[in-house]
Amino acid sequence: MEQERERNGRLCCLCSGRAALRRPKTLQQLCRECFFRVFEDEIHQVIVSNGLFTRGERVAIGASGGKDSTVLAYVLAKLNQTHDYGLHLFLLSVDEGITGYRDDSLETVHRNQIQYGLPLKVVSYKDLYGWTMDEIVATIGKKNNCTFCGVFRRQALDRGAALLKVDKLVTGHNADDIAETVLLNILRGDIARLSRCTSITTGEDGPIPRCKPFKYTYEKEIASILQMLIVVLPESSSKIWKDSDLGRFSTSLDQVRISGFLQLQKCQSKEHVNGVKWCKACVLLDGLNRGLPKLGIGRSHGVIGASRDRNERNGGKTIESKQCGTLDF
């Protein structure tokens, strides 16, 4: 047997065919077909054992154009068909307005839309907040701008999910992402977030829960699936992928994912999907609109208090906010 292995190279431990890779998670030697099957079966078991979905639900897939969300769109579309989940799937993407970054990745999202036949909704910072990230960076500089992007992005996903009237929002956060978040919360000493950051479903007390089907999936395996997926696409489909995609996907496009875990408080606005006056996004946006963007960084009560004082001096006028509607004092 050992001599046969040496002659034929590594053999798949499941079908004895030619192995394509060794799984980082189990160290099994697997061929491409068996790897796809095992990968999909594991995600299916995670979905079923955790009761992530209910038949007939509308589910939005947070689609950034990165490797995680691209593979998530593929596997959910495949499992929904194979196992007859009965889900209505949508792609939801956020355009932060970052030239040379998000505009390129949105092309990938549009390709996902074509490949998997899923409806796509794109929401933009410009439409929601009146600012693009390029404009925010030009105002505040390169330091602290990730705070704006992370908070705004989280709320933008909520707004987009509300527009689609979905029951669940799924994201491509994987085991590596969750481990990273655990370490960050330990370093910050944030016990409250540490206690919930490993949950596979969050926001169950809110209008739109978020699920992480890739909670137990290694990032390296997701990258392997994507590379194989591009290779095995039919020629007509593979032409819609650029030559640079493999290289681009080898490093995460979600450069703001760490700040994306920042907690967004609830906002008491009739228009907003969540329901405490002055959420973090409102505070940051108010600072931008007042020409004092750094007031939104760190402790926010100074901004809130200053805004209240200003409105009292102005006879109780309201503050207009594109993302939260009108806030009355």
**Tell me, what's the pLDDT at 268?**
42
**Tell me, what's the pLDDT at 282?**
81
Question: Could you give all domains of the chain from N- to C-terminal order, each with its CATH number?
Answer: 2-328 (3.40.50.620)
**Tell me, what's the pLDDT at 257?**
32
Distances (CA, A) of 41 to 38, 228, 307: 5, 17, 53
State which amino acid sits at residue 58. Answer: R
134 marked as binding residue: no
**Tell me, what's the pLDDT at 105?**
86
Distance of CA 103 to the CA centre of its chain: 16
CA separation for the pair 231, 233 (Å, rounded): 6
CA separation for the pair 9, 16 (Å, rounded): 11
Distance of CA 289 to the CA centre of its chain: 27
Splitting the chain (329 residues) into consecutive groups of 10 residues, what average pLDDT does each group show?
54 94 93 96 98 97 93 96 97 91 86 92 93 88 80 91 96 94 89 85 89 96 90 46 42 31 36 54 82 66 44 39 35
**Tell me, what's the pLDDT at 288?**
83
* Burial class of residue 241, CB neighbours in 10 A (0-12, 13-18, 19+): middle
138 marked as binding residue: no
* DSSP code per residue over 222-288: HHHHHHHHHHHS-HHHHTTS-TTHHHHHTS-S-TTTTGGGS-------SSSS----S-HHHHHHHHH
236 marked as binding residue: no
Is residue 156 within 8 Å of residue 128, measured between CB atoms? Answer: yes
71 marked as binding residue: no
175 marked as binding residue: no
**Tell me, what's the pLDDT at 295?**
66
103 marked as binding residue: no
CA separation for the pair 82, 329 (Å, rounded): 53
What beta strand segments (E) does the chain contain? Answer: 21-22, 29-30, 58-62, 88-95, 120-124, 168-170, 201-202, 210-211, 319-321, 325-327
Distance of CA 225 to the CA centre of its chain: 18
**Tell me, what's the pLDDT at 311?**
44
Residue 71, token pair as written in the block: 């593979």
59 marked as binding residue: no
